[in-house]
Amino acid sequence: MDSFLIKGGTPLHGEVQISGAKNAVLPIMAATLLTSEPCVIHGVPDLSDVKFMGQILGWLGAKVSVEGGTVRIHARKIKGDGDYDLVRKMRGSVCIMGPLLGRLKNTRVSLPGGCVIGARPINLHLKGFAALGAKIRIEKGYVKASARRLVGAAMFLGGRAGSTVLGTANVVMAAVLAEGVTVIESAACEPEVVDLINFLNAMGAKISGAGSPTLTITGVKQLHGAEHEVIPDRIEAATYAIAAAATNGEVLIKGARVDHLHAVLDKLREAGVVVERKGANLLVRRNGRLKSSDVTTLPYAGFPTDVQAQMMALMTQAPGISIITERIFESRFMHVSELARLGAEVEIEGPSAIVKGGKPLSGAEVMASDLRASAALVIAGLAAKGTTQVNRVYHIDRGYENIDGKLRGLGARIQRIEET
């Protein structure tokens, strides 16, 4: 497995271009299964998760071609069986269930894999499908959903940790071809869900309320092909902003959507980081010493759980005590033990991590446990004295396009050690 070798202590300077959003492009790719006509998606990042989704769509019968950042998908004739060996590789693959059920009225998909960050059941997905009239069975690790016809219904999709992003996407994709009107209460408001809805509406769907907790879907008989540009990745933008702050650098983040980053930018400013909007770009730099800051992850528009680990890495550099509370996933502190190997002082108390910051980090060999933990360890390694080796970086390749190359472009001393 590939590793990153990082020689820390160098401030990041320069410009970095943000890629398309991973969490938007995966359900958008799945949505192409809803039509027999060709679809074109632009701004697609070069990620292992995107490649896996392309393989899954190919397995289902779609023709998938990639040229640069453009993906063309033609799902003229498809089957409804999601293979375990492909689906198990990432949780995002579960979003093929909605479009398969919507178009074929029958699907059998393996329960998904992905990062080990706590239980992420799909019960709300299945609740939504059942409300539309589907019969659900779970057998031998597969979910089977079938219906003679799907009929619009009113439903509530809120869960213990709030709304479900993938669940909302899945149910919306099943509902667009259902008869009648579907109303989803406690729908996810994330920009990635809005982007999916914009794509579906471009395909001929009738969905209103995007970006609000209430979605209204008026079913249509069929969808047609469409062309779409994926939104920039707000989590990638936040990661580079935090990396700039952690290394006492100055970075112009090109293509960042400031309107998608309010909670993150607010906390960065609270921590003593200067954030300036420069047209369609974002300039991030330190303004003297960092300040401790408390963070609680919440559904959008709150602070994203996908930025929690990176923010923790930054707070190890801020003198004082910061309390980081995780309200979305119960096991998303697996990076804490690895940060400790670099000298970080972090104690876990229930859903909160207490960070005693300000002590210099020193390089060490660490192991990445999941996608965002990988990013946190890279940030910590960039800020640490000496050399840090981050192992199992296949996790980070799932969600960050060419992160080592982009960081080198900012002056970071990072190299990839390829598996031999």
Active-site residues, by number, are 115
Order across the sheet with 70-74: list the strands: 63-67, 70-74, 38-42, 227-229
State residue 15 phi and psi, 5-degree precision. -125, 145
State residue 367 phi and psi, 5-degree precision. -125, 125
Q: Cα–chain-centroid distance for residue 312?
A: 18
Query: Residue 410 in contact with residue 245, Cβ under 8 Å?
Result: no
Residues with Cβ within 8 Å of 231's Cβ and at least 6 positions away in sequence, in order, are 20, 21, 24, 43, 191, 192, 195, 257, 260
Burial of 324 (0-12, 13-18, 19+ CB in 10 A): buried
Torsion of CA 117, 118, 121, 125, to 10 degrees: -40
State residue 179 phi and psi, 5-degree precision. -80, 135
Query: Residue 308 in contact with residue 376, Cβ under 8 Å?
Result: no
Q: Within 13 A of 405's CA, how many CA atoms are on the CB side?
A: 7
